[in-house]
Amino acid sequence: MTRARQISRVVTSVYDDALRPFGIVAPQFSLLVFIAEFGPISRSDLGRRNHHERSTLSRSLQPLIAQGWVTDNAHASNGRRRPLSLTREGQALLKSAASAWSAAQSHAARLLGEAGAHQLMNIPRDLPSRVM
């Protein structure tokens, strides 16, 4: 676990450094990508897909909503459901930060080595949806 956390901190800092000019950090960018890919999506579905605890997800979403990059409008047929969607500003942010993200991907791959990067990319496929 210690080694996994060390790798996570190093790799996350590569992405955070690349995304800093856009006013966003790597975990927030990842949420934007998930919402763009699967949205509109409920918070619970997003949490399951991204292995987030409910409170962690709420804290991570707050700045995205406050910046106007994500909206959580109530669904027309069910006022209790509040699916998350990207706003135009959120879509523009993803588009403008894409080259920085790609540069960070290349940097991280160099740090990890080709084999290490490939192995890390494949681990999530084998993870359970929820760890008890």
User: Is 9 inside a domain boundary?
Assistant: no
CA 100 to chain centre: 15
The backbone torsions φ and ψ at residue 69, rounded to the nearest 5 degrees and listed phi first, read: -90, -25
Q: Quickly count: other Cβ atoms within 10 Å of residue 34's Cβ.
A: 18
Q: Is the pLDDT of residue 107 over 90?
A: yes
Cα distances (angstroms) measured from residue 87 to each of 27, 28, 32, 63, 72: 18, 15, 10, 14, 10
User: Is 5 inside a domain boundary?
Assistant: no
Give the global pTM: 0.83
User: Is 125 inside a domain boundary?
Assistant: no
User: Is 43 inside a domain boundary?
Assistant: yes
Q: 71 near 88, Cβ under 8 Å? A: no
Angle made by CA atoms 71, 73, 79, in degrees to the nearest 5: 160
**What is the C-alpha to C-alpha distance for residues 119 and 75, in angstroms, rounded to an integer?**
40
The pLDDT value given to residue 51: 81
Domain that holds residue 96: 26-113
Domain at 91, CATH number: 1.10.10.10
Over residues 94-106, the pLDDT tens digits come to: 999 999 999 999 9
User: Is 102 inside a domain boundary?
Assistant: yes
Q: 22 near 97, Cβ under 8 Å? A: yes
Tell me the one-letter amino acid at 46.
L
How many domains does the chain fold into?
1
The pLDDT value given to residue 54: 86
